[in-house]
Amino acid sequence: MKCKECDKWYGAEDDDYGPCSIKHARGDKKFITHGEHVCEEAVQNRGR
């Protein structure tokens, strides 16, 4: 699954970058992701 398909990602439609709320809550320094980035988090196996 790509970031922009996840309900935990809040990206801007115009530039396709936004924060991943999972990474942000965890305190990751790099929590901004690109919408086309393939999910690295557990949500990829949810069956969305």
Q: State pLDDT tens for residues 1-48.
A: 898 898 999 887 778 899 999 999 999 999 999 999 898 886 655 544
The whole-angstrom separation of Cα 36 and Cα 17 is 9
Beta bridge partners of 17: 34
Torsion from C-alpha of 25, 44, 40, 29, nearest 10 degrees: -20
Which pLDDT score is estimated for 12? 77
- Go through 29-46 and write b for each residue having 16 or more CB atoms within 10 A of its CB, e for each that does not: eeeebebeeebebebeee
Closest C-alpha to 19, from 28, 6, 29, 9: 9
